[in-house]
Chain A
Amino acid sequence: MSDLAIYQSALRELLRPKRLLIAVLLCLLPAVYALILRNSSDTYNALDTYNELMKQFVFNYILVLLALVFSTGAITQEVEQKTIVYLLTRPVPRWRILLMKFAAVMTITTCTVWLSTILLAGVCFGVGGLKTSYAIAPSQIKDQKQFVLNLKDTPNMALIGLHERFTPQTQKFLDNYSGENVPDSSSIATTVAELNGMIRAGSLYNKEAYEGIKLPAEVQAQVGKNLSGNELEKFNRGLIQALLPDTLLPAGGNSVQFWRDLLVLPVGVLAYGSLFLCLATLFLRPLVGGLIFAFGWESWVPNMPGYFGRFSLATYLRVLAPHADAANGTDAGGILSQLTQSGGDEITQLFAWSALAVIIGIALSTALTVFSNKEYVPREDV
């Protein structure tokens, strides 16, 4: 009961209208920006926009800023208002008080960054864009120029087979496409719609056409079977994927990216939150130090050469939730990041999980220990 009361009171403090309004406005930013890009940019690409904004806005700024403000505020606000005396003179161990407050901070921060991500995904992919579907979505086309060129002019027998199945109007569009400009979205949409029609209509497999084309094992296993419905769509999508590996994201790509982000975001909140909570217990004014860490250290260190990147939380979060760069399709942050890759061993997911777990464990246990032993009495009050 006492734990729940602490948690609820901390939630109530965090949900003050003014503070909540700022958090909500902040989390709307990526979606609004994506909306502007979608309606104004000719080169707009849904997945690229999502990746870029998730990486630059949500992971690098919103997550860090909210974790900083909410985590440090959990203690400093009570200390500044002097109301902390009410909490510290209750029959509850201090570490539990802090843990419950931190749980409230985690809840609010995670919900806010989740909301930001869901809104961004909604703008980028649309509501239906996140379903695991074997149909091709325009947003899964990584390079629209190359996509059309592949369908237009190819010595590949399988692709020629596909070309022949398009309607004359689409064939005309494909044949007339020069490759100079980005194809118009309505023609792309028509082409994709017709491809999806082919995917559903019947098997696209032709032994001679697919001779020499390496098919994934699960697709190969279905060759020769009498398929229908979802199985047929999955099989045909696998065939097309094998034909266009560089221009088309695998089926469910949006969904995978989105759900992975939702999974990793709370880990990021926990990691940054623990660190900032630790700062708040150690220092009287943690916000300045936190800001320097968040937007100085965390901006520079991940891009530094060699092993320096390992001293940053952002490095590990990028390993767990990589976001392809729009320009080169990697999660590289530029030349410096390439140097990072070459200067040290590549960080595995297991290492990233382990490193974050250790950082969270150390930061949180330090915060709890300090809070349990520190005197929170303003000098002017004694």
Chain B
Amino acid sequence: MSLSQNPMMNAAISPPSNAGAMISLERASRWYNQVIGINDVTCKIPTGITALLGPNGAGKSTMLKLITGQLKPTTGQVTIFGMKPFANPNVYRRMGYCPEIENNYDEMTGRQFVTMLGAMAGIGRNELGKRVNDAIEQVGMTANGDRKIGGYSKGMRQRIKVAQGIIHRPDILVLDEPLNGLDPIGRRDMMNVLNDFASEGKGVLISSHILYEVEQMTSNILLMSKGRLLAQGNIYQIRGLIDKHPHRISIETNTPRPLASLLLSLPFILSVKFDRENPRMMEIETLEPDKFYSQFPEIIMAENLSVDSFDSPDNNLEAVFKYLITG
């Protein structure tokens, strides 16, 4: 069953208001010969933070490239502030873009990189130095700004990319997977930067394939799969759908049976399964993952049990889409 045929989905997800839309896609499609990039997408993106969610290959990057004017739609229309974005300097004057690419002129220092792109954005010589300092400080790179980008960690690269995206004080910031490679502190800092940016009445469009990542930043999402826009609206409506299905969590431990016994005593744990091939692995099912994640550390510490790792196969969008599409 396709999503549009899923009555539960249609009932649960309502499109956001069009008021204050910065970006608009009208039946936009983009094909690469026989391969589909995005297909018949219509949506409006308002101010504030909007997350573009979808698994790898869903068409997120194509959609961002259409929005940032790197690609032209095959059919339909894409407009930013009422203008077509392809190679349009008037759009770029009001838009900052943080691409997913790893390469950032590795021979330059972070400061030189941001200065160069700030100057290209038309910032005057007198103001440029201050703007560069502000942007670098905003992303927490003051201490590392004068190091060569070639020596940066992945997280530092992400931050310096954001700095170049905000240096010309755009009205909307578009970021392609900006939380990739960031450590927990880096993620928190990055989220703060984006929240601060959005709080000034500006727009942020951020793509991600990790639901729980963007959930902490915004409730406004666009959900994509296989080139189609599956849903747009409030993330809690999506979560509501997901939570109707048991959430699976894999745990690796050297005390699987005592841990299983303990977990089964908890009311929100539905089942525990052992892995036949790996006796150290077990998988639990719960309808209240939030409760599990908050209580699990305390439980294992109280009972002095050890856990080597735990992960959820459901913490990715493929699982979400499976739920949404199959109903």
B101 within 8 Å of A by Cβ?
yes
A86 CA / B95 CA spacing, docked (Å): 12
A87 within 8 Å of B by Cβ?
yes
For A375, what are the chain B residues with a Cβ–Cβ distance below 8 Å? 70-72
Chain B nearest CB: distance from A10 CB in Å?
Answer: 10
B55 within 8 Å of A by Cβ?
no
Does the CB pair A91–B99 fall under 8 Å?
A: no
Number of chain B interface residues as a range: 35 or more
B48 within 8 Å of A by Cβ?
no
Q: Chain B, 88-123, contact with A by CB distance < 8 Å: what is the 0/1 string? A: 011011010101110111011000000011011111
Q: Of all chain B residues, which has the CB nearest A8?
A: B116
Chain A nearest CB: distance from B37 CB in Å?
Answer: 6
For A4, what are the chain B residues with a Cβ–Cβ distance below 8 Å? 119
Name A377's contact: one of B65, B95, B103 (CB within 8 Å). Answer: B65
Does the CB pair B61–A1 fall under 8 Å?
A: no
A94 CA / B120 CA spacing, docked (Å): 12
B87 within 8 Å of A by Cβ?
yes
Number of residues in A with C-beta < 8 Å to the partner? 30
A5 in contact with B89 given A86-B164, A375-B72, A381-B61 (CB within 8 Å): no
A91 in contact with B92 given A1-B122, A2-B121 (CB within 8 Å): yes
Q: Of all chain B residues, which has the CB nearest A16?
A: B107
A88 in contact with B87 given A16-B107, A82-B103, A83-B103 (CB within 8 Å): yes
Does the CB pair B62–A85 fall under 8 Å?
A: no
For A12, what are the chain B residues with a Cβ–Cβ distance below 8 Å? 107-108
A379 within 8 Å of B by Cβ?
yes
For B87, what are the chain A residues with a Cβ–Cβ distance below 8 Å? 88, 93-94, 372-373
Does the CB pair A90–B70 fall under 8 Å?
A: no
Most chain A beta-carbon contacts within 10 A, residue among B71, B93, B104, B121:
B121
Chain B nearest CB: distance from A165 CB in Å?
Answer: 66
Name A1's contact: one of B70, B97, B105, B124 (CB within 8 Å). Answer: B124
Give the number of residue pairs across the A-B interface with Cβ within 8 Å.
87
For A16, what are the chain B residues with a Cβ–Cβ distance below 8 Å? 107
Secondary structure call for the B interface: loop
A136 within 8 Å of B by Cβ?
no
Does the CB pair B65–A382 fall under 8 Å?
A: yes
A5 CA / B123 CA spacing, docked (Å): 10
Q: Give the contacts of B52-105 with A (CB-CB under 8 A).
A: 61-62, 65, 68-72, 87, 89-90, 92-93, 95, 97, 99-101, 103-105
Name A86's contact: one of B61, B99, B123 (CB within 8 Å). Answer: B99
A363 within 8 Å of B by Cβ?
no
Chain B nearest CB: distance from A50 CB in Å?
Answer: 38
A376 CA / B86 CA spacing, docked (Å): 11
Q: Of all chain A residues, which has the CB nearest B122?
A: A2
For B72, what are the chain A residues with a Cβ–Cβ distance below 8 Å? 375
Q: Chain A, 54-87, contact with B by CB distance < 8 Å: what is the 0/1 string? A: 0000000000000000000000000001110111
B32 within 8 Å of A by Cβ?
yes
Does the CB pair A82–B101 fall under 8 Å?
A: yes
A381 CA / B207 CA spacing, docked (Å): 14
Chain A nearest CB: distance from B304 CB in Å?
Answer: 49
Name B120's contact: one of A82, A85, A87, A377 (CB within 8 Å). Answer: A87
Chain B nearest CB: distance from A200 CB in Å?
Answer: 57
For A87, what are the chain B residues with a Cβ–Cβ distance below 8 Å? 120
Chain B nearest CB: distance from A346 CB in Å?
Answer: 46
Name A382's contact: one of B32, B93, B107, B122 (CB within 8 Å). Answer: B32
Q: Of all chain A residues, which has the CB nearest B70?
A: A377
Chain A nearest CB: distance from B299 CB in Å?
Answer: 44
Q: Which residues of B contact A (CB under 8 A)?
A: 32, 37, 61-62, 65, 68-72, 87, 89-90, 92-93, 95, 97, 99-101, 103-105, 107-108, 116-117, 119-125, 164, 168
A-B residue pairs in contact (CB < 8 Å), sample of 6: A1-B122, A12-B107, A91-B120, A92-B89, A92-B122, A379-B32
